[in-house]
Amino acid sequence: MDIVKTLIKYTLIGMVSAIVVLYFTQNDVGVKGTSVDFNEVSVDDAKDIADSSRQSQQATTSYAQAVKITSPAVVNIYTAKVVAQRRPRLFEDPLFKHFFGDSGQSIPRKRLETSLGSGVIISEQGYIITNNHVIEGADEIQVALKDGRNLQARIIGSDPESDIAVLHVADQNLPAITLGQSEAIEIGDVVLAIGNPFGVGQTVTMGIVSATGRDRLGLSTFENFIQTDAAINPGNSGGALINAFGHLVGINTAIYSRSGGSQGIGFAIPIDNVKDIAEQIIQHGHVVRGWIGIEIQNISADLAESFGLKDTSGVIIAGVLNNGPADKAGLKPGDILRAVNDRKVIDGKHAINLIARAKPGTTVKLQLQRGGQEFTSDVVTNERPQIQQNRRK
């Protein structure tokens, strides 16, 4: 009888413990290290949908359905930060100080600086993607949904080197967007940009994919942009670039403009890049990239001549961090880096990208040249040091 009572006792304890663990697990949303659930079409489905549409040759007269299912997940982002106003230079003038003493040395004034942008809800768990430059330095972030809700958001993490940031809002019944696939995008595809240009409210513009794989634009360290002629203006940053089926294919990031307004050249970060960066930020609080501790310099025609090189392909290793991965592998300043993992190096940015793709702790094979002699070197990567991250827990 005592054995039965003991079994019943421990069974009840186990059931109660399981219920408690389950409760806290389900409510532990928006914490670093948690996984995130996406609504996402598969690569094959995305390609099939796009191919069947291209082959139909039927003119589309409206994209209202795509906008209807997508726009609730696109939010307006309002940020505020307190900045100290600089004192007039007159207060620093010695003559002013002579007559008025330190009366001008008062506590500097502070003012509230506000800005606006856009974002996209990528998960019903409350995760929102936007650009790092939209929320950088913000003391307060408000997110306005299309249904009228205004929610307080916090920063989970950001990646200035790709200009992506992840926010989180603690609310339920959030409309999450469906993610498309970068592999299904082709030049000429119709795309729609949804955002909050100039703060006028949610706006939709239409264009096509003008180009893919745009880089070396000087916008960020790691570049791989979709170029589009859909009108993108200030305030659109962080908003959605969707295809004709309402799938998110990119995050609008920048425009090329001499006037400050849209001139038909806009850039968006492809969804595959966005998803990978978002998952890493949610899991680790930052993006994990490979690094070998070298300084890189592009090869100009003059440098090629001085080094006795036949062409300007590859890059010069201008510096090697003492006791870093490259130093341990025997690399020296002046070495010419020709290829990384059998992929020819185009320029410095390309080399950084190729190395960054390697996970820390893995080996990258480098093809180099020193004093006219070609050789290879296997370098074990470390994690790329993080630059200033904008995180608020």
- Show which residues are catalytic: 133, 163, 237
In whole angstroms, give the CA distance from residue 372 to residue 375: 10
HSE toward the beta carbon, residue 338, CA cutoff 13 A: 14
Contacts of 353 (CB under 8 A, 6+ apart): 215, 222
Which are the contacts of 167, defined by CB distance < 8 A and separation ≥ 6?
77, 119, 127, 128, 129, 130, 135, 141, 143, 153, 154, 155, 156
- CA atoms in the 13 A half-sphere facing the CB of 256: 13
DSSP assignment of 276-298, as one string? HHHHHHHHHSS---EE--EEEEE
> Within its chain, how far is the Cα of 16 from the centroid?
42
The DSSP symbol for 203 reads: E
Q: Which two tokens stand for residue 192?
A: 């729609």
The residues, any chain, with a CB within 8 Å of residue 92's CB and separated by 6 or more, are none
